């Protein structure tokens, strides 16, 4: 749990501020960061007392990735069944699979693999949806504790608009949720906590939503659900609850809090952005599933400009990869696509037309530094855990990745440059290494993963 790293280090301080230290040090004691800075300012006490790891020139440290939204039981479906929009996809592929988690042996096998794979891909903090079943949901919590992953785990609640083979009675859902909460609390883990998880407004009555809001208050818990993902879903929610907006349904049931994160928010209205901001409720941006399930393009810049906290989610298995790296790629692609659509009309004539509308002209697509922030500190903020992790600020726990860009799939070349070219280079060597990892790298480039100072991945895993 004690370490002293010497070498290249990078971490986000805010959406636009990525600090890069080329020849730096990072000191960890009892799992917590006690010092970070230029090697020249390394205090002598650290080099004499802490075990030293000297990074090679192709290695650097990054904060661990935060997956703000992942459905662990959907992992066996990853990569299949992406040919339907949300509501039909749920009925056809997802509910039948989740119903299988009544079987604890099946759950153990899948959950052990999900936690292992996500850690291997660099996810040091995940907010998991489990299934309706409290016993197998507790198995997921135990697996995260066993493998040392920081996690929020939710027993899913659904008592409406669901098939008869996968639906709960209101009182059972509330009782099982409370039993599950106490089960997780009794694990006495510093890393793993329960999270209140109504599946989405459409699958819950007001009575259930109110009861779950009450449990969140009683135990001071995090809350997660889905919001405004798909146009048919939004229409159905407004019809079912007779409300002007989707967000008001959650507000009415006391589910909007600063420890609440809602997945998607693709089609939120301006008034809903104001409500989310008022309660400091976050959005988990899941660009991969938003495209694959044809839900829409979420305009993250609009959410950020409205002052809403945003993190990234894989949304497995609506998203088809457990790695946050794909969420980074897709967040950038969606943002660039929106930028192109907003700024230009491509007419098929080889001509580009700029819109007259000034606001669209100034639209700023996300850049890789912004996406890295969303994948780390932004995610930790969205889960209201940025006092604990998300970057390398002194006092936080050491959740980190040791990245090596000399491993496959990357090939490295020393490009011979003239002195003039070198001095005019706009990106530092470390900036380039980070870009290579984010755009081209994968889990093979993550040699080690640390959570709370403990190494939880070896390169061979």
Least Å distance between CB 123 and ligand GUN? 18
Position 90 contacts ligand GUN (CB under 6 A) = yes
Least Å distance between CB 78 and Fe ion? 13
Query: For ligand GUN, which residue of 59, 77, 94, 137 counts as binding (CB under 6 A)?
Result: 94
Residue 274's CB: how many other CB atoms inside 10 A? Answer: 14
Position 193 contacts ligand GUN (CB under 6 A) = no
Residue nearest to ligand GUN (CB): 318
Q: Which is nearer to ligand GUN, 137 or 370 (CB)?
A: 137
Residue nearest to Fe ion (CB): 315
Position 249 contacts ligand GUN (CB under 6 A) = no
Distances (CA, A) of 402 to 54, 67, 438, 449: 11, 18, 13, 6
Query: For ligand GUN, which residue of 67, 168, 176, 229 counts as binding (CB under 6 A)?
Result: 229
257 binds, among Fe ion, ligand GUN, none (CB under 5 to 8 A by kind): none
Q: Where are the beta strands (DSSP E) in 281-344?
A: 282-285, 310-312
**How far is residue 119's CA from residue 150's CA, in Å, rounded to a whole number?**
10
Least Å distance between CB 156 and Fe ion? 10
Query: For ligand GUN, which residue of 226, 267, 285, 309 counts as binding (CB under 6 A)?
Result: 226
Residue 236's CB: how many other CB atoms inside 10 A? Answer: 16
Position 318 contacts ligand GUN (CB under 6 A) = yes
Helix crossing, 170-185 with 206-219: angle to 10°? Answer: 20
Query: For ligand GUN, which residue of 289, 323, 391, 452 counts as binding (CB under 6 A)?
Result: 289
Count helices and strands (H / E) in the chain.
Answer: 18, 19
Q: Which is nearer to Fe ion, 36 or 227 (CB)?
A: 227
- Applying the rule CB under 5 A, the residues between 296 and 315 that interact with Fe ion are 315
Q: Where are the beta strands (DSSP E) in 89-167?
A: 123-129, 150-154, 156-157
Position 291 contacts ligand GUN (CB under 6 A) = no
415 Ramachandran zone, left/alpha/beta (phi>0; psi -120 to 50): beta
Least Å distance between CB 267 and ligand GUN? 13
Position 143 contacts Fe ion (CB under 5 A) = no
90 binds, among Fe ion, ligand GUN, none (CB under 5 to 8 A by kind): ligand GUN
Q: Which of 123, 125, 128 is nearest to 153 (CA)?
A: 128
- Applying the rule CB under 5 A, the residues between 249 and 268 that interact with Fe ion are 263
Per the CB < 8 A criterion, the answer to whether 223 and 195 are in contact is yes
Buried b (16+ CB within 10 A) or exposed e, 321-347: bbbbbbbbbbbbbbbeebbeebbeeee
309 binds, among Fe ion, ligand GUN, none (CB under 5 to 8 A by kind): none
Per the CB < 8 A criterion, the answer to whether 382 and 309 are in contact is yes
Q: Which of 80, 180, 69 is nearest to 118 (CA)?
A: 69
Least Å distance between CB 155 and ligand GUN? 14
- Applying the rule CB under 6 A, the residues between 266 and 285 that interact with ligand GUN are none
246 binds, among ligand GUN, Fe ion, none (CB under 5 to 8 A by kind): none
Position 292 contacts ligand GUN (CB under 6 A) = no
Distances (CA, A) of 17 to 51, 180, 377, 387: 30, 40, 11, 18
Query: Residue 223 is encoded by which pair of tokens?
Result: 């809350």
How big is the site for Fe ion, counted in residues (CB under 5 A)?
2
**How far is residue 208's CA from residue 114's CA, in Å, rounded to a whole number?**
29
Query: For ligand GUN, which residue of 5, 46, 65, 200 counts as binding (CB under 6 A)?
Result: 200
Helix crossing, 429-440 with 324-343: angle to 10°? Answer: 100
Cα-flanking dihedrals φ and ψ of residue 317, to 5°? -110, 15
- Applying the rule CB under 6 A, the residues between 62 and 81 that interact with ligand GUN are 71
Least Å distance between CB 268 and Fe ion? 16
CA 411-414-420 angle, to 5 degrees, is 140
Least Å distance between CB 121 and Fe ion? 18
**How far is residue 336's CA from residue 372's CA, in Å, rounded to a whole number?**
15
Least Å distance between CB 318 and ligand GUN? 4
- Applying the rule CB under 6 A, the residues between 106 and 165 that interact with ligand GUN are none
Which residues bind to ligand GUN, rule: CB under 6 A?
71, 86, 90, 94, 199-200, 226, 229, 289, 315, 318
Which residues bind to Fe ion, rule: CB under 5 A?
263, 315
């Amino acid at each position: 749990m004690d370490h002293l790293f010497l070498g290249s280090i990078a971490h986000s301080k805010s959406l636009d501020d990525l600090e890069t230290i080329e020849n730096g040090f990072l000191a960890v004691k009892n799992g917590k960061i006690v010092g970070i800075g230029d090697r020249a300012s390394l205090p002598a006490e650290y080099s004499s007392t802490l075990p030293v790891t000297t990074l090679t020139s192709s290695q650097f440290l990054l904060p661990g990735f935060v997956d703000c939204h992942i459905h662990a039981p959907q992992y066996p479906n990853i990569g299949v069944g992406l040919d339907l929009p949300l509501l039909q996809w749920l009925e056809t592929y997802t509910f039948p699979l989740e119903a299988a988690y009544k079987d604890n042996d099946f759950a153990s096998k899948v959950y052990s693999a999900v936690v292992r794979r996500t850690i291997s891909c660099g996810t040091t903090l995940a907010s998991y949806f489990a299934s309706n079943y409290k016993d197998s949901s507790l198995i997921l919590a135990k697996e995260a504790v066993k493998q040392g992953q920081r996690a929020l785990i939710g027993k899913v609640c659904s008592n409406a608009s669901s098939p008869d083979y996968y639906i709960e009675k209101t009182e059972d859902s509330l009782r099982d949720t409370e039993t599950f909460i106490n089960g997780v609390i009794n694990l006495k883990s510093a890393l793993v906590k329960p999270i209140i998880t109504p599946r989405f407004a459409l699958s819950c009555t007001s009575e259930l939503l109110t009861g779950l809001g009450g449990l969140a208050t009683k135990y001071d818990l995090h809350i997660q659900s889905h919001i405004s993902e798909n146009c048919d879903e939004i229409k159905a929610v407004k019809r079912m609850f007779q409300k002007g907006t989707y967000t008001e349904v959650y507000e009415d049931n006391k589910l909007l809090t600063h420890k609440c994160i809602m997945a998607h928010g693709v089609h939120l209205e301006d008034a809903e952005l104001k409500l989310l901001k008022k309660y400091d409720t976050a959005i988990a941006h899941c660009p991969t599933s938003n495209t694959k399930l044809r839900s829409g393009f979420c305009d993250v810049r609009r959410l950020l400009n409205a002052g809403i906290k945003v993190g990234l989610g894989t949304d497995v298995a609506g998203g088809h990869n457990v790695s946050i790296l794909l969420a980074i790629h897709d967040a950038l692609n969606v943002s660039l696509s929106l930028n192109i659509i907003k700024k230009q009309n491509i007419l098929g004539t080889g001509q580009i037309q700029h819109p007259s509308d000034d606001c669209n002209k100034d639209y700023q697509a996300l850049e890789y530094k912004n996406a890295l922030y969303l994948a780390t500190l932004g995610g930790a903020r969205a889960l209201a855990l940025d006092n604990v992790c998300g970057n390398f600020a002194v006092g936080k726990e050491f959740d980190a990745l040791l990245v090596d860009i000399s491993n496959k799939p990357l090939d490295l070349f020393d490009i011979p440059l003239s002195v003039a070219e070198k001095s005019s280079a706009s990106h530092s060597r470390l900036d380039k290494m980070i870009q290579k990892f984010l755009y081209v790298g994968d889990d093979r480039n993550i040699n080690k993963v640390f959570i709370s100072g403990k190494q939880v991945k070896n390169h061979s895993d």
